[in-house]
Every structure is written in structure tokens, then in C-alpha cells.
Amino acid sequence: MTADDLTQAHALSQAAAWPHRLEDWKSLFRLGRGVVAEADNAVIGTAMGWPFGDDAAAIGMVIVSQDRQGRGIGRGLMNALAERLGVKTMILNSTREGHTLYSRGGFRDERIIHQHQGAAFAVPIIELRANERIRPMGMADRAVLAALDQEATGLPRVALMSELQRKGKWLVLDREDRLAGFAMFRRFGRGYAIGPVVAPDLNSAKALISHWLGSNSGMFIRLDIPEESGLCEWLNGLGIAHVDQVTGMIAGPAPARGTNVRTFALVSQALG
């Protein structure tokens, strides 16, 4: 994949009814690497990967033109991308349509990710603990945020976090004067996305998300949340409805996640 392929790649995602803008494709391309399938000088398939350290990578944006499906193109793209990445562990979030392809390629189910979105939502008030406060991110927080993200995901995503910190707006949670969580708000697809959200517990995650909802009432907002986050029923009650789900899958050894914080919302389905 080269930068010249991105316009055609974007057209493929539009045909598949994916929300990604051309700007989203460009951002993903800056962070990772990809392969394309071509026929008659046209891009008919894509797959992208984002290395996290030397041993792991996220896989996403795997698309094959509808009129070319069922011919082994998806399998060829995945094989070519895996060879190019050369890592022990690959993670991805699979649609229902892609699940058979990935299962046959050695991926196993790990968790369910729920997609929530909406614009007509209630704005909740979440009480913080006496020793907690929420504030905007400062320059001195950046390295700590990357360390918290690695603890939550088990992956060294320093380059990704650096890119996101330049692009989006961030809130951080202080607990006893120590940075203990964060949440990002940014442009994505049809509107805006909240994520990643990393926090020590459910109430803290709700408080971070509520701050972004409160300052963006009426905006179209999306969150992709792990099923085990405990946020699904709460978001539905606010009017940010569950609209779809994907299956988180992994090939190779699972990353070693920490126990002090966890992920309550992903960056995106592609990046995890």
C-alpha cells in the first residue's frame, strides 16, 4: 500500500458502508503499513497492520470488493500482511462476515466489542471520589498516559499514543495527585469518537466519558467498548445505543495486561 492507493481504499470502505473518512485512512496509513490487491490497475482489496513493539501488531481495514469476494483474495491479503509484519502476536476485531476467514487463519476468539453511537443523549452527572479530579491533559502527562495505556492493553503503543495526543482532546483523571486514567475525544467517521478510555474502575470511566458528553451535547458520538467494561447498559440508558458488535480475536501469545487499570473504550475497531 502506498499513499496513492488511499483514495481507492477509501472508496472500498464507502462501498462497504464503513464510516471512515479519507482523513481517517491517511491517519491510519501514517501509523502503520498495508498491502493491496489489484485487478485491471484498480485496488480491489486492502489490509493494514500497526506494529506495537517488536512482537505484536493490530490488524484492520481488511476489505475486499463485493464483486471479488469468495476467491481467496482476503486470505492472500492476510498472508502477505502477516509476512510483512513478522510478529508473534496479531490482534483484530472481526465482523461477522470476516470471522470464518480469520478463524481458518489461526485466530481465536478473545472478547466481544460493542459499538454504541447516538446524538440525542442524556448528560449524566457522575460523582467523583473525594480524592479524585478530572482536568485537561498537560504536556508532562504524555509519558504517563502511554505507560497507563500499555498497562491496560499489554502493548507498547507509544507511536500511536503520540499521534493521538497531537490530534485529539484529552482529559485525565487524578487520584490522590497521581494520574490514574484518561479519555480522548476526536473527529471520526460520521461525527466524533470517545476513546481510548482507560481507568481504574467503572465509576471513574463513567466520569471521564460524562465530561465529554456534557461538553458535546447534540453531537454524533461513537464508542467501541469491551463487553466486560460494564458500560453497555449505562450507555443505552443515556441514548447512546448499541448498534453492532464485533469479535476481538488474537493469533499468538496474549499480551500481559496489568491489573491497576483497564480499557473501557477502544481507540477504534481497527487499532484496538
pLDDT tens digit sequence for 137-154: 999 999 999 999 999 999
Q: What is the count of structural domains for the chain?
A: 2
If asked whether residues 81 and 208 sit together in one domain, one would say no
44 assigned to some structural domain: yes
Domain boundary among 66, 87, 108: 87
**Does residue 195 belong to any structural domain of this protein?**
yes
Q: What is the pLDDT, as a whole number, of residue 92? A: 97
- Here the CATH number for the domain that contains residue 203 is 3.40.630.90
Residues of the chain below pLDDT 70: none
Q: Are 100 and 260 in contact (CB under 8 A)?
A: no
In a domain, 97, yes or no: no
List CB contacts of 49: < 8 A, sequence separation 6 or more.
32, 33, 34, 57, 58, 59, 60, 81, 84, 85, 90
**Residue 152 domain boundaries:** 116-244+251-265
Same domain, 120 and 159: yes
Residue 109 lies in a domain: no
**What per-residue confidence (pLDDT) applies to 244?**
96
With CA atoms as reference, report the closest residue to 242 among 258, 256, 231: 231
State residue 69's pLDDT score.
87
Residue 219 is predicted with a pLDDT of 94
- Give residue 136's identity as a one-letter amino acid code: P
Q: Which residue type occupies 169? A: K
- Non-local (6+) Cβ contacts of 207 within 8 A are 126, 127, 128, 132, 134, 173
**Model confidence pTM above 0.75:** yes
Shared domain for 42 and 153, answered yes or no, is no
What residues form DSSP beta bridges with 263?
198
- Residue 177: the pLDDT is 86
Query: CATH number, domain at 8?
Result: 3.40.630.30
Tell whether 106 is covered by a domain.
Answer: no
CB atoms within 10 A of CB 242: 15
Indicate if 17 and 78 belong to the same structural domain: yes
For residues 137 and 261, membership in a common domain is answered with yes
pLDDT number for residue 190: 86
Residue 56 maps to a domain: yes
Q: According to the model, what pLDDT value does residue 24 have?
A: 93
Q: Looking at 69, 87, 105, which one is the last position of a domain?
A: 87
Per residue in 32-82, pLDDT (tens digit) is: 999 999 999 999 999 999 999 999 999 999 999 989 888 999 999 999 999
